[in-house]
Amino acid sequence: MDIRQKMLAIGLLVAALCATIAITATIRNRSRAAAAAAAPPEFVPAAPDYADTLMWTTVDGDPDGSGADVFYVVSTWEKDWVRDDGTPCHWADVWNPLHREHMATEIRRAAEYMSPGNRFYAPFYRHTTIDAWVTHNTDTVSRRTRLAMDDVCSAFDAFLSRRDATRPLIIAGFSQGGMAVVELLRHMSDTTYSHLAAAYVMGYMVTPADTASCHRIRPARGATDTGVTICYNTVKDVKYVNPLIAATCCGINPVNWRTDATPATLHDTITVRLDTTWHVLVVSGYEGKEYPPYRGIINVGDIHSCEPWLYSDCIRANMRDRAQAWRSHAATR
């Protein structure tokens, strides 16, 4: 075979290969389109109206006006559910009394220790169901939580429009609510940030990308610095760090308010130490047996469900201290 025949044969082979690739891609795309067409549409619940008091839990525990405004974002309560017509839904329905009552269970408990001395506000929102997190797929979590984060930002804007801006501001959230706290730090203006005493990210992460993209995310370094983000996650051992929730770049021990590995004693029997490599809390003397593992995503060596409750006395006192510190700084401006 001469050189021309060889080149012609190679050309025919390449053309056949390209045609095969094109046909395969077409078949694959058609299969995906058919699958998408066959899948039932997702139901998206009606948006909350944050002018409606039904969408809020509020507690005024600050009769003399000396405390802070606390904006709390609840965690994940619902599983995927199906409407009567068979349409699946991946979000909580804030107009469903049962869904609101589920969220209110956590909100009331948080208010028990966050509202004394403060004005407490917590919105109901279309939080993403636990099924998104069970996928362990960051794209799925990101896509489905977009709606939830938009709701929280809308609620926050409504809250800001009514609150007394001379008061210190505290934002706090647990799990998906902790994600919302990070989102709110991106969302708020610098003027609003100037009122921030502290932001508490409980049971969720702050990533290097978060700190690089938002100058308002400043990790706390002590007990009374203001305008800072307090982030913590609790595990029995660092091997249990959940990368979807707790792969954080910063952390602080809420018992002794240190960022080094100095251990602290909680409730006389629990030792809490910050691991400075993983930036998570490692506890001993506490098993967290009241929080059984759930669907392979939480409480599996981590003690995720304890975050707002185990350290509640410490958080209550710290909110007071940081609010007072903010007022002291404001008085000298």
User: Is residue 100 within 8 Å of 45, Cβ to Cβ?
Assistant: no
Q: How far apart are CA 185 and CA 188, in angstroms?
A: 6
Number of domains making up the chain? 1
Please write the tens of the pLDDT for every residue from 140-197: 999 999 999 999 999 999 999 999 999 999 999 999 999 999 999 999 999 999 999 9
In a domain, 317, yes or no: yes
The answer on pLDDT for 331 being more than 90 is: no
In a domain, 187, yes or no: yes
Cα 30-32-33 angle, rounded to 5 deg: 65
CATH code where residue 45 lies: 3.40.50
β-partners of residue 302 are 235
The answer on pLDDT for 303 being more than 60 is: yes
Residue 41 pLDDT:
85
In a domain, 270, yes or no: no
Residue 109 pLDDT:
98
Six token digits for residue 200: 């508490």
* pLDDT over 70, % of the chain: 88
In a domain, 305, yes or no: no
Please write the tens of the pLDDT for every residue from 53-101: 999 999 999 999 999 999 999 999 999 999 999 999 999 999 999 999 9
pTM of the model: 0.88
Contacts (Cβ under 8 Å, ≥6 apart) of 75: 106, 127, 173, 174, 175, 176, 177, 178, 203
In a domain, 12, yes or no: no
In a domain, 301, yes or no: no
The answer on pLDDT for 125 being more than 90 is: yes
In a domain, 13, yes or no: no
Give the strand pairing for 169-174 and 69-73. Answer: parallel
In a domain, 246, yes or no: yes
CA 25 to chain centre: 38
Please write the tens of the pLDDT for every residue from 11-45: 544 444 444 444 444 445 554 444 444 455 899 99
**Domain of residue 54, residue span:** 40-233+241-252+312-331
